[in-house]
């Protein structure tokens, strides 16, 4: 395992321990509302502190881009961190949340970790070396027919998000696939695309820490991950389309004439 990836795994596991230990006391946690349907707890903050502490101990000059503490300047290397992706799920005891850590060098994704602490599932990837689940090589699914594809998505939840646009996107795929799932953690959804549990995924209005690790996992597992509307970098826009190559093409065709509201 690459030394930087090994450090990220150590950080993710430390954060995961904090998250799991807090589950029995969910009803006693301090919860703050950052915006509509967007919450943060003391668990998010403690998990992020442990991740940053672990990463900085090994790489003190690296930059940090984290959900709760924002950005800290560094050199060409930058860690992109979501200490608890799926906070709302966590607060309800719904078992779908994860720790997400990625490393970028001059804007290019190099390392990725998505850790599900409840299932003890560790998804990892190093650029050019493939993706793994608990040290076993993973690949995207081989599903080719769109009517057999199982897709994942996320609902709009910020006031600025376009619900009408999401409905149009959903209508294009709901009736011509085997189903669409919304589980509430983009990081895990992308990890599931990487290991073949989902054949494709799309969502809009995300942040870099939601999708950085997952995007690299999908690409290293043989899939495609790009901006939903422009095919550019999804970390720049927050709008992502990820899938195995055949399903990616079907989704591109289905969404071809739907543009982002800002582009109207």
- Retrieve residue 168's tokens: 């149009």
Q: Burial of 27 by CB count in 10 Å (0-12 exposed, 13-18 middle, 19+ buried)?
A: exposed
State yes or no: 135 annotated in a binding site: no
String of DSSP letters for the chain: --HHHHHHHHHHHHHHHHHHHHGGGGGGS-EEEEETTEEEEHHHHHHHHHHHHHHHHH-TT-EEEETTTEEE--SSEEEEEEEEETHHHHHTT-S--EEEEEEEETTEEEEEEEEETTTTEEEEEETTS-EEETTEEE-------GGG-EEEE----STTS-HHHHHHHHHHHHTSSSEEE--S-HHHHHHHHHHTS-SEEEESS--HHHHHHHHHHHHHTT-EEEETTTSS-HHHHS-EEEE-HHHHHHHHHHHTT---GGG-
- Residue 250 CA: distances (Å) to CA of 108, 136, 172, 211, 241: 27, 29, 11, 21, 11
Per the annotation, does 61 bind a ligand? no
Q: Does 85 carry a binding-site annotation?
A: yes
The verdict on whether residue 84 carries a ligand-binding annotation is: yes
Q: Would you say 210 is a known binding-site residue?
A: yes
Annotated binding site: 67, 82, 84-85, 210
Annotated binding site for Mg(2+): 67, 82, 84-85, 210
């Amino acid at each position: 395992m690459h030394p930087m990836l090994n450090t990220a795994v150590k950080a993710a596991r430390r954060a995961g321990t904090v998250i799991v230990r807090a589950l029995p006391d969910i009803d006693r946690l301090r919860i703050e509302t950052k915006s509509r349907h967007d919450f943060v707890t003391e668990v998010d903050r403690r998990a992020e502190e442990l991740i940053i502490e672990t990463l900085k101990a090994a790489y003190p000059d690296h930059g940090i881009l984290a959900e709760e503490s924002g950005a800290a300047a560094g050199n060409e290397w930058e860690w992109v961190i979501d200490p608890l992706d799926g906070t709302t799920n966590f607060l309800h005891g719904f078992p779908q949340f994860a720790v997400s850590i990625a490393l970028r060098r001059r804007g290019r994704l190099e390392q990725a970790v998505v850790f599900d602490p409840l299932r003890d599932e560790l998804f990892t990837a190093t650029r050019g070396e493939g993706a793994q689940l608990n040290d076993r090589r993973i690949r995207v699914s081989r599903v080719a027919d769109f009517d057999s594809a199982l897709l994942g998505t996320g609902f709009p939840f910020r006031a600025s998000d376009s619900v009408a646009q999401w409905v149009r996107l959903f209508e294009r795929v709901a009736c011509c696939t085997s189903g669409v799932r919304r589980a509430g953690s983009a990081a895990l959804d992308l990890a599931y695309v990487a290991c073949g549990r989902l054949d494709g995924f799309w969502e809009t209005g995300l942040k870099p820490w939601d999708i950085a690790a997952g995007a690299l996992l999908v690409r290293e597992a043989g899939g495609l991950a790009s901006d939903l509307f422009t095919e550019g970098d999804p970390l720049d826009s927050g709008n992502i389309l990820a899938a195995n190559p055949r399903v990616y093409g079907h989704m591109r065709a289905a969404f071809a004439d739907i543009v982002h509201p800002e582009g109207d």
